[in-house]
């Protein structure tokens, strides 16, 4: 039987990237689909430059993916982050552990 390899460094980088309230709010916003930096900034009532900074950190930690459409950059949760739904809760599977987020906006 093949055993999955636990990559502590990769897991620690992801958890460290999530260790900021602004980034957790971004994760919460992106659970519902892809958004532009401007959309996220508006939802969080934050400056675009600050949101962009947090998204860069999250991209480096493989938490978000980005695609360009014209002059707009669209962000979404990384494809390997499985977002499953339980009773009134969503779970974000980081591969090494699971983040539980209440299911309300």
Q: What is the mean pLDDT of the chain?
A: 85
d(Cα 50, Cα 38) in Å, to the nearest integer?
11
- Domain count across the chain: 1
CATH number at residue 50: 1.10.10.10
User: CB of 48 within 8 A of CB of 41?
Assistant: yes
The range of the structural domain enclosing residue 34 comes to: 8-78
Establish if 1 belongs to a structural domain.
no
Tell me the C-alpha distance between 102 and 98, whole Å. Answer: 13
Q: Identify whether 29 is part of a domain.
A: yes
**What pLDDT is attached to residue 87?**
58
The answer as to whether 16 is a domain residue is yes
Is residue 88 in a domain?
no
The answer to whether residue 65 sits within a structural domain is: yes
Q: Is a pLDDT exceeding 90 seen at residue 88?
A: no
Residue 91 lies in a domain: no
Question: Is 31 contained in some domain?
Answer: yes
Beta bridge partners of 98: 93
pLDDT per position as a tens digit, 37-68: 999 999 999 999 999 999 999 999 999 999 99
Kindly write down the DSSP assignment for every residue of 46-69, as one continuous string: --HHHHHHHHHHHHHTTSEEEEEE
The pTM of this model reads 0.81
| Within a domain: 87 | no
The C-alpha atoms of residue 87 and residue 80 are separated, in whole angstroms, by 22
In this predicted structure, the answer to whether residue 18 has a pLDDT above a threshold of 60 is yes
Q: How confident is the model at residue 82 (pLDDT cuts 50, 70, 90)?
A: low
Q: Residues 14, 94: contact at Cβ < 8 Å? A: yes
């Amino acid at each position: 039987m093949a055993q999955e390899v636990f990559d502590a460094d990769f897991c620690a980088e992801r958890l460290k990237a999530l260790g900021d309230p602004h980034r957790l709010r971004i994760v919460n916003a992106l659970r519902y689909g892809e958004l532009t930096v401007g959309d996220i900034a508006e939802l969080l009532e934050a400056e675009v430059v600050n949101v962009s900074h947090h998204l860069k950190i999250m991209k480096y930690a493989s938490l978000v993916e980005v695609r360009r459409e014209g002059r707009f950059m669209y962000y979404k949760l990384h494809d390997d982050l499985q977002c499953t739904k339980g009773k009134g809760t969503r779970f974000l599977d980081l591969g090494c552990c699971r983040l539980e987020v209440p299911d309300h906006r």
